[in-house]
Amino acid sequence: MRVAVGAAIGGVLGLMTAGPLGATIGATLAGGIVRATSPRRGTMTPKRELVFNRAVETLKDPNELESLAFAFGAEGLEVEAERLRKRAALPSLPKEIARARQEAFRKAMASSDVDAIRIVARAFLEEGASAAAKALSDRADALSAEKGKSRA
């Protein structure tokens, strides 16, 4: 099972970086590496963290995200798997929910309450909307820096 998960992760990384040929090479190499150096189940290794972060930041295809979520879940990383599943579900959200999320994002970006912005950013991050979460976190950081300068 671990070899299959390693191959899936390698395939996704290869696909993201070098296309279909990269996916094949990545799957083959990662499957072999996993077989040789298999970490404990449920451990977020630096390699897994890299794959997870890249997927959350760049992958948009729901099928690829679901495959990766399955791989992470199979390795006992359910929190990460759930975030990937939520990201995969974003494009299929009902229009009303998508509009409400957009409105919440706009209001948070227009706010000057750093704590409130960070709360909204965390909510977006937990729901798989990492780009929105990053934009909100950057806004909160900028406001904090501004407030720090005005106090000095």
18 and 80 assigned to the same domain = yes
Residue 149's pLDDT is what?
72
Place of tokens 């897994």: 48
Q: Based on the structure, what is the number of domains in the chain?
A: 2
46 and 71 assigned to the same domain = yes
Residue numbers of the chain with a pLDDT score lower than 50: 26, 32-33, 36
Residue 30's pLDDT is what?
53
Residue numbers of the domain that contains 33: 2-91
Does residue 127 sit in helix, strand or coil? coil
Residue 28's pLDDT is what?
54
114 and 55 assigned to the same domain = no
Do residues 72 and 66 make contact, with C-beta atoms less than 8 angstroms apart?
Answer: no
Q: What pTM does this model have?
A: 0.62
Do residues 100 and 85 make contact, with C-beta atoms less than 8 angstroms apart?
Answer: no
Gap between the Cα atoms of 139 and 143, Å rounded = 6
83 and 97 assigned to the same domain = no
